[in-house]
Amino acid sequence: MVAPLRILILEDSLSDTELMLYELYSSGLELVWRCVETEPDYLTQLEAGCDVIIADYSMPQFDAMRALQLLQERGLDTPFIVVTGSISEEVAVECMKQGAADYLLKDRLVRLGQAVIQAMQQKQLRDEKRQAVAALKESEARFRRLADNAQDIVYRYRVSPTVGFEYISPAVTAILSYTPVEHYADPYLWFKFVHEDDRQVLRQWMRAEKLTQTTILHWVCKNGTIVWTEHRNVPVYNETGRLIAIEGIARDISDRKRAEGQLFYSALHDPLTGLPNRVLFMDRLGLALEHGKRNQNYLFAVLFLDLDRFKVINDSLGHSVGDQLLIATAERLKSCLRPMDTAARFGGDEFTILLDDIRAVSDAVRVAERIQAELGLPFNLGQQEVLITVSIGITLVNAKRYNRPEELLRDADIAMYQAKTQGKARYEVFDTGMHTHAVALLQLETDLRQAIERQEFRLCYQPIVLLETSQVVGFEALLRWQHPERGLVFPAEFIPVAEETSLIIPIGEWVLREACTQLHKWQTGVPIPHLSISVNLAGKQLTQPDLSAQIHQILQETGLDALSLRLEITESAIMDTTHSVTTTLSQVRDLGIQLSIDDFGTGYSSLSRLHSFPTGALKIDRSFISQIGTEPNHSNMMIVQTIVTLAHNLGLEVIAEGVETSTQLAQLRALNCKYGQGYFFSRPLDSQAAEMLIATQPG
């Protein structure tokens, strides 16, 4: 049930009061009422509470305007209706201005009930609005508290008619180092400390551009550190569609950015040396090439470096020393370059350098020489002192000639390869002839692959003799390639390629089988049954772990006695060997096969290391023998003598290669060298000619 309306009437005339009540009841209102005519009584009733006040405009002791004032002074919003006998227009307006809900003439009191109902409805509307405003205020305060305490920066930036932050949350201090107060004081502050690369973005925002997409900005904080923030904005427009404000949230994503940066860095750098890696280097090369295409005067160079014999150091001193050497090498390389140059680790012991903006090839050569001098100084790695050399290929880039970065690298690599084959520890500048040569090599490789199937290989046999009697004691099998177009090709031309491409493995197996088959045939029914055959083995073949098993099988197949087979390995191949190769060599020796060191004296081996290899013989290189008898100071003679004496002390046989004259033969005999081989006795022969030679030998 609805409570009756409490009506307070201010009236001095009883009849008027009755009239009013009559009208109110007639309107069907449920009500209770009080009537007062003095200020104290009025105040008492106000205290007690009422829903509507109906007041006579003027009474002897009190009046409506005063009553209205008192009501308002108490902060009450009770509907207040003025009733008057006669009222002027101005008074009516004054009443309404003061806050009266309505006014009525006493002779029109029929409207009173309606007026009360209306006033009550208005009051209800007012109450509701007040509640709504209060609720809104509460919710704003709530959001404000949220924004104030958020970890992200919450902001509203006014764009029009004036600019400036209307709100920016306190988190801005922790994230960007500038406080809200500083932002309020200077509307352009954020333009000043945003990173200059991003300033344009803020300007775009002001023009209502790019506001709807997530944007990442970076800022320079007070102490100089860089902070990254990710912004989500909402543009606020007025009725005419003009941007008036930007509301947004900014999150600190510096950690994520740093992690991304780290990932990006490691994708482009070599973890060991910290130098740019292949990917980054190729990218820089591409940029340089593009730059060169646009600027005719721009010249740059690419250097391709390969440490000589790094593998030996790595295998003999261990990988950790190898790693330290690479790190130290990287440091020295950097010290030889200008800041604008790029040194990269390309892989293994290969480094590449981009020399930016040089004037002439001589600049690149000077850098190469500086690098060689720098890397030539001893490295102190732990307890070890290590010496290395480096082979360098240089290509000077004329951007017109090249289209892709890979081509530059290819040419620098070709030049480096040239430096290696020219004896290492040197540099070569690429010229187009090298490219032609490289293409020819490629052709050779293609042909070589087919040569085995097409049976284009032959063996020649050069006799090895006992120097004392010139009696043939064996043959060295020497490979020849009957090329369909080029004719007879000698091993010097194709063995290096075969080694590099590993084609030497099947070729070498063919040589072994062919040589063993041939000798076994000769051994039956000839006057000299103890003939031996010497077969050359390439370094690459020694790395086959099943080499001894392969040889064993060939011996079984051909029926040749292991004692009749000798294997020749060049000195340099032996020096490049690792522990596992030494094991392989021992297994081969254990089959009963004698190993000879070929071209002795041309490699780097110290004589003292000889005994650590399972060797049975030394073949003194032709270069020493050929000088004998022509040189004034006999220095080669002395070398040969030393080698012979040393070999005898180590229990090794000695064979002199390349004996061409009787003088040389006489000298070698005098030096007690037991065996020899050379044109003086016989050139390499085909199998038939060799067979005839055997037949003429004294038994």
Give burial (CB, 10 Å; 0-12/13-18/19+) of 236.
middle
Give burial (CB, 10 Å; 0-12/13-18/19+) of 297.
exposed
Q: Number of helices and strands (H, E) in the chain? A: 26, 26
- Provide the minimum distance between the beta carbon of 654 and ligand C2E in the complex, in angstroms, as a whole number: 14
Quick one: which of 217, 222, 254, 248 has its CA closest to 235?
248
324 touches, from Mg ion, ligand C2E, none (C-beta below 5 to 8 Å by class): none
| Amino acid making up residue 358 | I
Near ligand C2E in 442-471, by CB under 6 A: 462
- Provide the minimum distance between the beta carbon of 613 and ligand C2E in the complex, in angstroms, as a whole number: 17
How far is the CA of 528 from the CAs of 465, 616, 693, in angstroms? Answer: 13, 22, 11
Binders of ligand C2E: how many residues, by CB under 6 A? 24
Beta-carbon neighbour count of residue 193 at 10 Å? 16
Near Mg ion in 293-352, by CB under 5 A: none
**Judged by CB, which is closer to ligand C2E: 78, or 615?**
615
- Provide the minimum distance between the beta carbon of 496 and ligand C2E in the complex, in angstroms, as a whole number: 10
Selected from 229, 273, 536, 584, the binder of Mg ion by CB under 5 A is 536
390 touches, from ligand C2E, Mg ion, none (C-beta below 5 to 8 Å by class): none
Interacting span for ligand C2E (CB under 6 A) from 29-37, 200-208, 218-226, 490-498? 490-498
Query: Rounded to an integer, what distance in angstroms lies between the CA atom of residue 306 and that of residue 15?
Result: 124
- Provide the minimum distance between the beta carbon of 291 and ligand C2E in the complex, in angstroms, as a whole number: 47
Near ligand C2E in 545-574, by CB under 6 A: 568
Task: Write out the H or E segment, with its range, that includes residue 96.
Answer: helix 89-98
**Judged by CB, which is closer to ligand C2E: 335, or 663?**
663
Q: Is position 577 an interface residue for ligand C2E (rule: CB under 6 A)?
A: no
Selected from 419, 511, 542, 617, the binder of ligand C2E by CB under 6 A is 511
Instruction: Indicate left, alpha or beta for 634 from its phi (over 0: left) and psi (-120 to 50: alpha).
Output: left
Near Mg ion in 633-672, by CB under 5 A: 657
462 touches, from Mg ion, ligand C2E, none (C-beta below 5 to 8 Å by class): ligand C2E
Q: Do 474 and 513 form a contact (C-beta atoms < 8 A)?
A: no
The number of residues in the chain equals: 699
Selected from 598, 615, 654, 675, the binder of Mg ion by CB under 5 A is 598
Interacting span for ligand C2E (CB under 6 A) from 74-82, 223-231, 530-538, 589-597? 530-538
Phi, psi of 680 (to 5 degrees): -60, -35
- CB-based contacts of 499: which residues, under 8 Å, 6+ apart? 538, 539, 540
Near ligand C2E in 621-640, by CB under 6 A: 622
**Judged by CB, which is closer to ligand C2E: 256, or 683?**
683
Q: Is position 56 an interface residue for Mg ion (rule: CB under 5 A)?
A: no
Q: Is position 478 an interface residue for ligand C2E (rule: CB under 6 A)?
A: yes
Selected from 79, 180, 276, 684, the binder of ligand C2E by CB under 6 A is 684
Name the CA radius of gyration of the chain, rounded.
Answer: 53
Query: Rounded to an integer, what distance in angstroms lies between the CA atom of residue 493 and that of residue 582?
Result: 28
Q: Do 183 and 190 form a contact (C-beta atoms < 8 A)?
A: yes
Q: Do 394 and 355 form a contact (C-beta atoms < 8 A)?
A: no
Interacting span for ligand C2E (CB under 6 A) from 411-419, 536-544, 546-554, 574-582? 536-544
Task: Write out the H or E segment, with its range, that includes residue 600.
Answer: strand 594-600
Query: Rounded to an integer, what distance in angstroms lies between the CA atom of residue 360 and that of residue 346?
Result: 25
DSSP state of 607: G
Q: What are the structure tokens assigned to 619, written together? A: 């073949």
- Provide the minimum distance between the beta carbon of 625 and ligand C2E in the complex, in angstroms, as a whole number: 8
Query: Rounded to an integer, what distance in angstroms lies between the CA atom of residue 305 and that of residue 207?
Result: 54
Give burial (CB, 10 Å; 0-12/13-18/19+) of 342.
buried
**Judged by CB, which is closer to ligand C2E: 332, or 566?**
566
Q: Is position 495 an interface residue for ligand C2E (rule: CB under 6 A)?
A: yes
**Judged by CB, which is closer to Mg ion: 411, or 657?**
657
**Judged by CB, which is closer to ligand C2E: 622, or 674?**
622
Selected from 84, 536, 548, 558, the binder of ligand C2E by CB under 6 A is 536
DSSP SS3 for 484: coil
DSSP string covering 122-147? HHHHHHHHHHHHHHHHHHHHHHHHHH
Interacting span for ligand C2E (CB under 6 A) from 47-55, 75-83, 169-177, 654-662? 654-662
233 touches, from ligand C2E, Mg ion, none (C-beta below 5 to 8 Å by class): none
Q: Is position 491 an interface residue for ligand C2E (rule: CB under 6 A)?
A: yes
Q: What are the structure tokens assigned to 547, written together? A: 């080499």
Selected from 57, 326, 599, 636, the binder of ligand C2E by CB under 6 A is 599
- Provide the minimum distance between the beta carbon of 318 and ligand C2E in the complex, in angstroms, as a whole number: 30
**Judged by CB, which is closer to ligand C2E: 394, or 617?**
617
Q: Is position 490 an interface residue for ligand C2E (rule: CB under 6 A)?
A: yes
Query: Rounded to an integer, what distance in angstroms lies between the CA atom of residue 262 and that of residue 93?
Result: 77
**Judged by CB, which is closer to Mg ion: 396, or 511?**
511
DSSP SS3 for 100: coil
678 touches, from Mg ion, ligand C2E, none (C-beta below 5 to 8 Å by class): ligand C2E
Ranges assigned E (strand) in 140-225 = 153-158, 164-168, 215-220
Query: Rounded to an integer, what distance in angstroms lies between the CA atom of residue 309 and that of residue 290?
Result: 36
**Judged by CB, which is closer to Mg ion: 428, or 657?**
657
Selected from 428, 568, 571, 576, the binder of Mg ion by CB under 5 A is 568
Site string for ligand C2E, 579-598 (x = CB under 6 A): -------------------x
Task: Determine the residue with CB nearest Mg ion.
Answer: 568
Binders of Mg ion: how many residues, by CB under 5 A? 5
Strand partners, 298: none
Ranges assigned E (strand) in 372-452 = 379-381, 384-386, 390-397, 427-429
495 touches, from Mg ion, ligand C2E, none (C-beta below 5 to 8 Å by class): ligand C2E
Give the interface with Mg ion as residue ranges (CB under 5 A). Answer: 536, 568, 598-599, 657
Residues that bind ligand C2E (CB under 6 A): 462, 478-479, 490-492, 495, 508, 511, 536-538, 568, 598-599, 622, 657-660, 677-679, 684
